[in-house]
Amino acid sequence: MSPERIDAYPTRAIAGYGVRAGNPLPFGATAVPGGINFSVYSDRATRMWLVLFRPGEAEPAAELEFPAEFRIGSVFAMTVFGLDPETVEYGFRADGPFDPAHGDRFDPSRVLTDPYARTIAGRDVWGAEPDRDRLCPYRSRLVPDDFDWGDDAPPGIPTEDLVVYELHVRGFTCHPSSGVSAPGTYAGLREKIPYLRELGVNCVELMPVFEFDEHDNPRTDPVTGEPLLDYWGYNTVGFFAPKAGYAATGRFGMQADEFKSLVKDLHTAGIEVVLDVVFNHTAEGNEQGPTLSFRGLDNATYYMLTPDGDYYNFSGTGNTVNCNHPVVRDFVLNCLRHWVAQYHVDGFRFDLAAILDRAPDGTPLANPPLLEQLAHDPVLRHCKLIAEAWDAAGLYEVGSFPSYGRFAEWNGKYRDAVRRFLKGDPATVGELATRIVGSPDLYTGRGTAASVNFVTAHDGFTLHDLVTYNDKHNEANGEAGRDGANDNHSWNCGAEGPTDDPEILRLRTRQMKNALALLLTSHGVPMLLAGDEMARTQRGNNNTYCQDNELSWLDWSLLDANAGLHRFVRSLIAFRHAHPVLRSAAHPTCGVSWHGVRAGEPDWSAGCRLLAVTFAQGDERIHLAANAHWEAHELELPAPAPGTSWHLVADTSAEPPHDINPPTAETTLAVPDRYRIGPRSTVILLARPTT
């Protein structure tokens, strides 16, 4: 039995509370014997107060100024005794110069959110009306860190073996058809784990789950005049805090336990968890935005500022986090370590990651220290690190993101190449070939796992809408259709939007299957957008960031309506898992042969819209033929290995259940060396021993 700590006693009283000089590390609030240690950094503050609140009360319970001698370096640290870590809420008040031209924007009238707040009180229930006059709208709280993880361990799936599934925690189960007991929550998602398992995905990528304010959107519905919420949540308020409004138990402050329980059960099901993290900007916006945290604590440290003290706007949202400032680097690193150590997440997808390699003055760095640090950090060492390798100011680094051998990238070029090929654009066959073997032009030396391949993601059309709309239809976003991408490379198959023309509907289904067949047989890491396996629609809206309604929510009745498509996707995923030849970590070289209509004679000309490829590894052979032409073709098949013959895995021109054969049930061909590929169709063949 160790003796009691000898520093568990106050040395003086402030505002009626016993206190003593605290520990500067760790930052934030930490329960210590008898009290709580508070630590906050500010280089330029002249005075700092700890502001304590009782839950539910508008006015502070107490304000304790940090005595000058409680400051170590630029860190204010104080242990306060007699506080209940379960109920205490707090913030900081900082005083210092207000001199924007020189970077300082102190405002002692504001009570600021702790950047290291482990949870935040204030947005406990999704959509609840905010009290905008409340002092300190986002109040910092502590979290018990003794969750019982049992024997939980990261699944540790090799990156090239992942099938990623991108989803929005709320949107996934919010629709009444989801049938879960707590719709729109972590707990609701946990109830859908059996569905994910059955589908076969082994990694979920969660759109932002760091605390944000869904009311942080100035726009209104142009029809109803109702305010539109920020549904996606790319405007972080608390980087260390799981979003309370996504927790069924958020109103009790138990979001951390609920989220951990979700991760634990996903791991048990063999599914990894990747978080979409937004370190490029914060919810404080530009000069007109609210002072919530960083700005009032140390504006010039946390934000990239122009020589005149204005905000650089590389994120397109008003401000840019100063990621390569040493203090901010530590902040990002500590944050990611926190999510790995405390929440057991398996990786991160970095939103607008090109910003992470900009210097404080905005210049792109060849060797950005933040990225180097993340790549080699001991705690993050086996995490998946995925970059959205561009930003909103034109820095496009797909293929050139400083990866340090660790970062994968959302391969935007894969998306565009597949889309353009499928809609029948000329001169696309050559690039398609490069993309489906893992984009060696972009990732030589980094391997196929550097390429996260996708056709659709949250940003843009769903797969159904990609084949249903030529143009975006974003009027509901209240920006008169100006928002959202214009270069969608989409094709409506003959009519814009819903139609009852059976020919068009059949073609759309085929086009969706074509995209999925290419995606799930390509080298690299396939990423699916949740709901695409059941043809989820956003009615042509390609930017539903503010649509917290049926436009965004997954309608689970589509599962019955589009059972054939769902079966096709599930079978394709199983096929991918069954065949390592599709998942080699190195770019395939000698094991690849290209074909056109005639075996061994690929046609790279601009007018050609057909490509076939055989992947070989050991005795295994898979033949993929993609025909984006509007006419059928008689394909000559290459000879498979001796003693084997081609068997049909999938043909997107066939109706279910003949569109795909489950593993080991692949059928023999009528003619062993020829196959008629239908118009705008994809065919997958597997060489199996001749019986």
Partner 1 sequence: MSVEVRSREQDGVTVVELEGEITSVTSAELQRRILPLIGGAGTTVIDLGRVPYISSAGLRTLLLVHRRAARSKTATVLVGLSEEVRFVMSSTGFLDFFDVRESTAAVLGGVREA
What residues line the site for partner 1 (CB under 8 A)? 84-87, 144, 146, 148, 181-182, 185-187, 190, 247-249, 252-254, 257-258, 260-261, 264-265
Which residue out of 284, 388, 465, 533 is catalytically annotated?
A: 388
For the bound state, the minimum distance from the C-beta of residue 189 to partner 1, rounded and expressed in Å, comes to 11
Residue with tokens 């109830």: 191
530, 262, 186, 339: CA torsion to nearest 10: -90
For the bound state, the minimum distance from the C-beta of residue 140 to partner 1, rounded and expressed in Å, comes to 16
190/583 with CB nearer partner 1: 190
The three state secondary structure string of 525-542 is EEEEECCHHHCCCCCCCC
For the bound state, the minimum distance from the C-beta of residue 84 to partner 1, rounded and expressed in Å, comes to 5
User: Which has the closest alpha carbon to 686: 647, 655, 652?
Assistant: 647
256/616 with CB nearer partner 1: 256
**Is residue 169 within 8 Å of residue 206, measured between CB atoms?**
yes
For the bound state, the minimum distance from the C-beta of residue 258 to partner 1, rounded and expressed in Å, comes to 5
187/418 with CB nearer partner 1: 187
Secondary structure E strands in 254-353: 272-277, 347-350
180/206 with CB nearer partner 1: 180
149/195 with CB nearer partner 1: 149
Which residue out of 205, 213, 298, 351 is catalytically annotated?
A: 351
Structure tokens at 84: 């209940």
Could you tell me which residues come within 8 angstroms of residue 606 by beta carbon, excluding any fewer than 6 positions away?
426, 427
Task: Quote the crossing angle between the two packed helices 429-436 and 502-521, to the nearest 10°.
Answer: 50
Structure tokens at 231: 């549904």
**Is residue 24 within 8 Å of residue 16, measured between CB atoms?**
no
142/163 with CB nearer partner 1: 142
178/488 with CB nearer partner 1: 178
**Is residue 430 within 8 Å of residue 470, measured between CB atoms?**
no
150/394 with CB nearer partner 1: 150
User: Which has the closest alpha carbon to 89: 238, 259, 295, 230?
Assistant: 238
Task: Look up 388 and say whether it is catalytic.
Answer: yes
Strands 119-121 and 210-212: unpaired
For the bound state, the minimum distance from the C-beta of residue 148 to partner 1, rounded and expressed in Å, comes to 7
189/626 with CB nearer partner 1: 189
**Is residue 235 within 8 Å of residue 110, measured between CB atoms?**
no
Spatial distance between the Cα atoms of 656 and 669, rounded to a whole number of angstroms: 18
Residue 69: burial class (beta carbons within 10 Å; 0-12, 13-18, 19+): exposed
Spatial distance between the Cα atoms of 509 and 358, rounded to a whole number of angstroms: 43
What is the SS3 assignment for 441? Answer: helix
The three state secondary structure string of 602-667 is CCCCCCCCEEEEEEEECCEEEEEEEECCCCCEEEECCCCCCCEEEEEEEECCCCCCCCECCCCCCE
Structure tokens at 508: 């759309």
Spatial distance between the Cα atoms of 176 and 159, rounded to a whole number of angstroms: 35
- Label residues 255-288 b or e (16+ Cβ within 10 Å = b): bbbbbbbbbbebbeeebbbbbbbbbbbbbbbeee
For the bound state, the minimum distance from the C-beta of residue 273 to partner 1, rounded and expressed in Å, comes to 15
Task: Look up 351 and say whether it is catalytic.
Answer: yes
262/519 with CB nearer partner 1: 262
Spatial distance between the Cα atoms of 130 and 532, rounded to a whole number of angstroms: 34
**Is residue 23 within 8 Å of residue 77, measured between CB atoms?**
yes
For the bound state, the minimum distance from the C-beta of residue 185 to partner 1, rounded and expressed in Å, comes to 7
**Is residue 318 within 8 Å of residue 281, measured between CB atoms?**
yes
For the bound state, the minimum distance from the C-beta of residue 24 to partner 1, rounded and expressed in Å, comes to 27
Report, as residue numbers or ranges, the catalytic residues.
351, 388
